[in-house]
Structure 1
Amino acid sequence: MAAIDDDDRPKKKTAHEIGQDLTLLSVAELNDRIALLREEIARLEADIAKKQSSRSAAESFFKS
């Protein structure tokens, strides 16, 4: 059986757990997590905007 190279293994996706111990993380890993969290914040804000838009449209329809 051939040995599996590390490059062939699936990459573990960076994840962040709120309150996680950060002492063992490098600056690069911390920056990656900040980017991940910023992307998630943008995704959440976009969903809020979409839901507010839908709600406003429904409210204006039923006020007529």
Structure 2
Amino acid sequence: MTVDFEDLEPKNKLRKKVDLSTWNIEDLEEYIENMKAEIVRAEAAIAEKQSVSSAAESLFKR
């Protein structure tokens, strides 16, 4: 039996969409930059998890 470590982690629900209709342009631009930074952070977390998963797989395949 193999354990999928992703199954052990809590599933986070997506956040509610933010109403952007009342925001000014500067706030929208700052929001975009913050979201881009969050994407980079999430991609780094994914890469780290994939690296750990690959290392564990190779260790147990021997």
TM value normalised by structure 2: 0.71
Structure 1 stretches of 4+ moved >2 Å: none
Q: Which runs of 5+ in 2 are unaligned?
A: 1-14
Q: Which runs of 5+ in 1 are unaligned?
A: 1-16
* RMSD between superposed Cα atoms in Å: 1.3
TM value normalised by structure 1: 0.69
- Which gives a bigger RCO, structure 1 or 2 (Cα 8 Å, sep 6+)? 2
Q: CA deviation at 1:23?
A: 1.7
Q: CA deviation at 1:19?
A: 1.6
Q: Deviations over 1:10-60 (max 9, x none)?
A: xxxxxxx64221121111100000000010010010000001000000000
Count, aligned residues: 48
Q: 1:27 to 1:18 in 2, by over 3 A?
A: farther
Identity of aligned residues (%): 44
Give 1:1-64 correspondences, 5 Å limit: 18-64=16-62
Larger CA Rg, structure 1 vs 2: 1
- Give the counterpart letter for 2:58 in structure 1: S
